[in-house]
Amino acid sequence: MNIIALIEKLQLDKSTIAAISPEEIIRIEKRINMEKRLDPDIDTNSAANLVEALRNYQPELAYVCGTRVFYNFLADKNHSRNSFNFEVPDISADRIRYFFTRFLEDALVLHAERDLSENYFFGLTSVCSRKEYLPEDALFKIHKKLLGKIDFALGELHSGSISQNSKSIIANREFYELLDCFSDLETDDKMLLLVNLVAKKYNLELNSREMLRTVLISMTAYHPFDEELAGVIERNYTVMTAPVTTSGNSSDSSFPWWKTIGLVVLGLRVIFALFRTSNTPSTNYDGTTFENIDNFKQQDSNIDKIYFLNYLVQYKPEDVKVNFTKAAISTGEVPFYGLYGGASAEGGERIKIKNNSKYDLILLISEEENGKFTPFSSQFVNSKGSIEINKNSRYQRRYSFYFGKDLASFGSGDPYTRGEGKQEYRFSKLPENGVELLYREFTLKHDLVISNKKEKFVFKSDSISCVSDQNPAFVNKFVFPSQEEVRVVKETPTSP
């Protein structure tokens, strides 16, 4: 048992760790000694380490306990964001890294190896995305385990018999998201071998194409150092997601068997083959980038978020009946898995958002990066519910509002998946003006109250601005849609 798991077991208040007094530490030490007699899982080293951390490393311990990603991973819990609504000390990455090395490195590696053995990558990705805080030795071990998984899959692909275990690795976007945390030349070399072999098999083995297509699409979550390899991965994605056009006389429209993809050979020289059907004209893929905005959907923050917004609202009514699973979600939780799936900053001054409308709300948060606002995080708010978000950020923020009812996973065939083949959540019932409202972005500085009258949405807040408007201005009240009906004043009849 590591010291974070011990804190969870003792149910110590995470928010007070930075200010625990010496007297309170003595009381905690006595309590630990009593608990050790009753619970054999509490070992002597963990007990001693926790007391030492409380006495000599309080700020570092408070930082780890106040960082939701680290705490949940090491405590094997999934506490909501509401459990971390307190400020954490401002500690340098070097001090946190030393703290991990001193007290938590073994636990970090142990938990990572357990998740990797089960091909569960999501939680570890969140941890490794903060690798500046983690010990180099631990990162080295995790990286080697990941490369070993590629080697295992390559071996099975060469043998011609790929197991479900390998499929859950190389056909899993989350694997490449985790691998991207370790992007370097060594990882590029492994990815080059995988891209070559998968591309070759795709062009030769018709029976395996659906699975291999998923692999080629999932690979785009990895961003290589080598620009040519990056181009090949992106190009293969484009080919895999290009619209299928078949004539009425086509013998088989159930799967685009005529598609071919580029192979990487001899120093990453790319050969892009023609793809055709018997009765349709061929299309040449040259070195340029092909983009089809009607078909290109990618859950990657480097891709324009408009594609994901389209996914949320531009579906057919009959899609709702396909694989419908209602979401089990509470106010304050993050509803999305890929885009907008980040964790909001904890602690600091807060903005309260009160949803008095008759619809549930998902607040979408984008942050500026390299001059572009990219998807960052999201929070679900029940009708008549409220949340608090961090007011201050190192980056400029914009907010969008997604309203609806009956949040659920439904539909199929899109790359926006939550794992196990389920689609990202979206509202199955949308308000009349909610679709157009979703595409507008706002800035917020103060508390916000949202209500709706008939089918109009009313936003009240000091200095709210809709930056999507042609002439954005800071106002205290924003109504959407703003057009008012022209009222006709009836004339009073005059006596003759």
pLDDT digits (tens, 9 = 90+) for 375-416: 888 999 999 999 998 876 667 889 999 999 999 998 876 667
CA distances from residue 378 to 314, 338, 477 in whole angstroms, order as listed: 19, 11, 23
* Amino acid 245: pLDDT: 44
* Amino acid 395: pLDDT: 75
Contact predicate 331/380, CB 8 Å? yes
Rounded to two decimals, the pTM is 0.54
Supply 460's token pair. 């009240």
Map tokens 């990882």 to a residue. 187
In terms of Cβ atoms closer than 10 Å to its own Cβ (0-12, 13-18, 19+), residue 104 is: buried
pLDDT tens digits along 170-219: 999 999 999 999 999 999 999 999 999 998 888 887 677 888 989 999 99
* Amino acid 418: pLDDT: 73
Coil, strand or helix: which one is 477? strand
Helix 185-204 vs helix 209-218: angle between axes, to the nearest 10 degrees? 150
pLDDT tens digits along 82-123: 888 888 888 999 999 999 999 999 999 999 999 999 999 988
Contact predicate 43/51, CB 8 Å? no
* Amino acid 177: pLDDT: 93
Contact predicate 334/389, CB 8 Å? no
* Amino acid 204: pLDDT: 80
* Amino acid 124: pLDDT: 94
In terms of Cβ atoms closer than 10 Å to its own Cβ (0-12, 13-18, 19+), residue 89 is: middle
Contact predicate 222/178, CB 8 Å? no
* Amino acid 178: pLDDT: 95
Closest by Cα among 161, 157, 146, 148 to 196: 157
* Amino acid 478: pLDDT: 87
* Amino acid 341: pLDDT: 81
Q: Which parts of the chain have pLDDT scores under 70?
A: 206, 242-304, 343-348, 370, 392-394, 413-415, 419-421, 469-471, 482-496
* Amino acid 291: pLDDT: 30
What does the chain come to in residues? 496
Map tokens 């709706």 to a residue. 452
| Residues 6+ away with beta carbon under 8 Å from 410 | 319, 320, 321, 322, 323, 324, 325, 423, 426, 428
